[in-house]
Amino acid sequence: MSLRTRGQTEYTLDGLDSCCEIIVDRWGISHIYAPTEREAWFAQGFNAARERLWQLDLWRRAGLGRLAEALGRAFVERDRAARLFLYRGPIEDEWAAYGCDLRSILDPFVEGINAFVRETVRRPHLLPAEFELLGCLPAEWSSEDILRIRSHGRYRNLRGEVARAQMLHRFGACAERLRVRLEPRTTLAVPEGLDLSLIDEDALAVYDLATAPAIAPAASHSGCAEGSNNWALAGSRTATGRPMLAKNALTSSPAPCRR
């Protein structure tokens, strides 16, 4: 595989039958050129790891419940909680549920990630600084890791469902209809045999622990929420002449970040 930025860096990698090219333009956008779809996905995985290896490794550890290996014993309980949510069903059934072409995409993508991980063994200078600071190394992935991890499948409506159950138990269906409008409109009914009184204030304790931000202990009290899609504008591009920063935080009520 050939990787070209301002100059050119050549990588000889197992798993590729022919040459691929990744060209990074002056805006930092990567453009992948490959002779086959499989090799394009391999190159995409390699490039994702090249640009975001620490983030990928941290997400994998958080999802599999393996943060304590890198961040210390303070994360043992979080790891325990995360492992309670791992998928444990028949893996072939899970593959089939995603569609017939997923494996042809995911397998070479993960091979590309692992190719860069192995490259960091030969060229330690490629490792992001976080690994050196914490004294750990990135692990290789399995395609099944992505299927087993439920980090992104547990969000959004769970809190709403718990709040609905508690409202129904305390005040009934009429009050719940005032709290939030149902889409589509339906008549609320508690399933026979479901004891809503058991869904108490601690119902989300394990969930909250399993989905807590995977941050290093030194930053654990900063109040910063994990987010994505951050961007910045220089003062030369704004009406006021002042720089502008936008952050999309993954929380409904983000706390200010203190540094």
Helices and strands, counts by H and E, the chain: 10, 6
Contact 119, 125 (CB under 8 A): no
Assess whether pLDDT exceeds 80 at residue 91.
Answer: yes
| Residue 31, beta-bridge partner list | 23
Q: Which domains does the chain have, with CATH numbers?
A: 2-148 (1.10.439.10), 158-210 (no CATH), 222-259 (no CATH)
For residue 102, pLDDT over 80 is answered with yes
Q: Is the pLDDT of residue 39 over 50?
A: yes
Query: Does pTM surpass 0.85?
Result: no
For residues 224 and 55, the model is more confident at: 55
Average confidence score pLDDT of the chain: 84
Q: Which tokens is 167 given?
A: 């409202």
Average pLDDT of 163-179? 90
Those residues whose C-beta lies under 8 Å from the C-beta of residue 6, and which sit 6 or more positions away, are: none
Both tokens assigned to 18: 């022919």
- What pLDDT, in 10s, does the model give residues 181-208? 888 888 888 899 999 999 988 988 998 8
pLDDT digits (tens, 9 = 90+) for 143-165: 999 999 876 665 667 888 899 99
Integer Cα distance of 9 and 5 in angstroms: 8
CA dihedral 179, 181, 157, 176 (to 10 degrees): 40
Report whether pLDDT(73) > 90: yes
| Residues belonging to the chain | 259
Amino acid at 240: T
